[in-house]
Amino acid sequence: MTDLLYLCKTHIEHKIPYEQIFQVIYDRFMAVEADLGVDVDIKTDLKTIKQHIEEGASADYIASRGEYLNAKMIAAFLGYDFIDAKDIIKFNEKGKLMEDLTNERIEKALMEHEFAVIPGFYGEKLEDGKVKTFSRGGSDITGSLIARAAKAEVYENWTDVSGFLMADPRIVDDPKPIQRISYMELRELSYMGASVLHEDAIYPAKIADIPINIRNTNRPKDPGTMITAQPDTDSQHVISGIAGKKDFVVIGIYKNHLANERGFIRRLAGIIEDHDMTIEHLPTGIDTMSVVIDKKALNGKLEELIEEFERQLKPDTLEVFEDMALIATVGAGMASRKGTSAKLFSALAEAGVNIRMIDQGSSEMNIIAGVENKDFNKSIRAIYNAFVD
C-alpha cells in the first residue's frame, strides 16, 4: 500500500492520471474494513489522504498513511483505543527524535488509555506539526519507545522470522537460532548487517533494562530470541553470531614512528570529514594505520582522498585495497576463552582466505576480519563451521 501511495504522488508530480492506482488502494482498505466487521469511517480518511496528496503532501506523510489506517482498523477490531503516533512521538526541527519529550507524551497517553493500538514508523515535527517518519523498519523503534514509557516487563517484537540466527541462512545452510543475546552483542551484529530488528530500537529498551523478545507472527509457539542486558553465560557456544558487509575500501598507511607523531589521527580524520565521509574502522599499529571507508561513501573521490593523504600526512608508503568485505564474529564469551582468535584465523587459512585486516574491540566481544569480496561467503561458512557443532 505504501508503494502504491508513493506511486500516486509520482503520477501527480508528472501530471499523469493516478485515479486508477488510488482506486486500488481505496478498494483494498474498504475490503479490509468490511471483512473485519468494523466501522472506523475509512472512506473519510481515504478522501482526506487523496486531497493531501493532490495538494503536494510530503513523502513522509504518504509513507505513514498505510500504518495509520491499519492501526485504526486493528484497534476497532480488538475493541481498544487508537492513539495516533503523531500526538506522542516528537521530532525537532532537524528531524531528530526528542527522547525526553516523547517519553513524557507517551507516559501521559498510556495513563489515559488502559488498552491501545499505536501505529509505528512515524511521529510529528514539533516545529511545523508535519508528519515525520523514522527510517524503514522504524516501527521497531516506536515499539521500544512505548515499552520504555510503559515500564514493560518485556518488549515482544513480532515479525516474520523466529528471532536471530547465528549466520545468514542464504550463506550457511540451516544456521542455529540465537536463543539469548545481550544488547551489546546484538548492536555489533546489527551494525554489520544482521537486520531482523532496527538497530535504533535497542537503545530505549536498553536504558530501561527491558528485555526484547523477537517472535514469529506465523509461528507463535517458537520461543524466538531474547535480548537482555547481560550476555548468556550458560551458552554452549563461544560465539553468538557472525555477520558482515561487502564493498569497503581499505587504505593502508605506513609511516616510520607513526605512533609517536602528534596530531596524526586528528589530521587524518579532518581530511575524511572535509570529504563528507565517515570512518568505519581504524585499526592501528606502531608504524601502520588502516582506514576503512564504505565504497558508496567514496563516490568516485578515492584519488582525491589519496592525494590529500599524501599531501597532509606524508606517509612513507600508501596502499589501497578495493572490493573488501568486513566480517564480524561476535560473542561475549570470546574474551574468557583461550585460543578463540587462533581458531578463527586457522579456519580462514584452511579455507584459503587471505586476511587483509584484523580489528578487535577493547571489549574483546568481537573480531573483525577484512577479506576480499569474493571470499565473503566462504569466510562466513568457514568461521561458522569452526565454532558451531
Domain borders along the chain are 2-133, 155-228, 241-387
Q: What is the pLDDT of residue 364?
A: 73
**What's the whole-number mean pLDDT along residues 299-308?**
91
CA terminus-to-terminus distance, the chain = 43
| Per-residue model confidence as pLDDT tens digits over 72-129 | 999 999 999 999 999 999 999 988 999 999 999 999 999 999 999 999 989 999 988 9
- Residue 234 clears pLDDT 70, i.e. is over it: no
Cβ atoms < 10 Å from Cβ of 254:
15
**What's the whole-number mean pLDDT along residues 320-348?**
88
Q: Judge whether 2-133 and 241-387 match in fold.
A: no
Task: Match domain 241-387 to its CATH number in 3.30.2130.10, 3.30.540.10, 3.40.109.10, 3.90.79.10.
Answer: 3.30.2130.10
Instruction: Rank 133-142, 197-206, 274-283, 358-367 by mean pLDDT and report only the highest.
Output: 274-283
Q: Give CA separation, 108 vs 32, 83, 182, 279, in Å.
A: 31, 12, 30, 41
How far is 25 from 55, CA to CA, in rounded Å?
Answer: 18
Tell me the fold of 155-228.
Carbamate kinase (3.40.1160)
Cβ atoms < 10 Å from Cβ of 4:
15
DSSP string, 137-190: TTHHHHHHHHHHHHT-S-EEEEESSSS-BSS-TTTSSSPPB--EEEHHHHHHHH
- Residue 144 clears pLDDT 70, i.e. is over it: yes
Reported as a pLDDT band with limits 50, 70 and 90, residue 362 is low
Handedness of CA 43, 44, 47, 52 (dihedral sign): negative
Q: Which of 189, 172, 161, 171 is nearest to 388 (CA)?
A: 172
- Residue 160 clears pLDDT 80, i.e. is over it: yes
- Amino acid letter at 239? I
Q: Which of 157, 101, 154, 164 is nearest to 127 (CA)?
A: 101
Cβ atoms < 10 Å from Cβ of 39:
11
- Amino acid letter at 31? A
Q: Do the Cβ atoms of 353 and 325 come closer than 8 Å?
A: no
Above pLDDT 90, what percent of the chain?
68
Q: Do the Cβ atoms of 320 and 365 come closer than 8 Å?
A: no
Reported as a pLDDT band with limits 50, 70 and 90, residue 9 is confident
Cell of 27: 478498494
Q: What is the pLDDT of residue 127?
A: 86
How far is 336 from 122, CA to CA, in rounded Å?
Answer: 42
Q: Which residues pair with 379 in a beta bridge?
A: none
| Per-residue model confidence as pLDDT tens digits over 171-185 | 999 999 999 999 888
Q: What's the whole-model pTM score?
A: 0.79
Q: What is the pLDDT of residue 139?
A: 86
Q: Do the Cβ atoms of 239 and 175 come closer than 8 Å?
A: no
| Per-residue model confidence as pLDDT tens digits over 240-260 | 999 999 999 999 999 998 888
Phi, psi of 219 (to 5 degrees): -135, 70
For residue 200, what is the enclosing H or E element? none
Higher pLDDT, 183 or 194: 183
Q: What is the DSSP letter of 55?
A: T
Cβ atoms < 10 Å from Cβ of 278:
10
- Residue 190 clears pLDDT 90, i.e. is over it: no
Q: What is the DSSP letter of 306?
A: H
| Per-residue model confidence as pLDDT tens digits over 306-325 | 999 999 999 999 999 999 99
Measured in whole angstroms, the distance separating CA 235 from the mean position of its chain's CA atoms is: 25
**What's the whole-number mean pLDDT along residues 140-165?**
92
- Residue 230 clears pLDDT 70, i.e. is over it: yes
How far is 40 from 81, CA to CA, in rounded Å?
Answer: 12
How far is 195 from 245, CA to CA, in rounded Å?
Answer: 12
Q: Do the Cβ atoms of 167 and 178 come closer than 8 Å?
A: no
Helix or strand or coil: residue 145? helix
Tell me the fold of 2-133.
Carbamate kinase (3.40.1160)
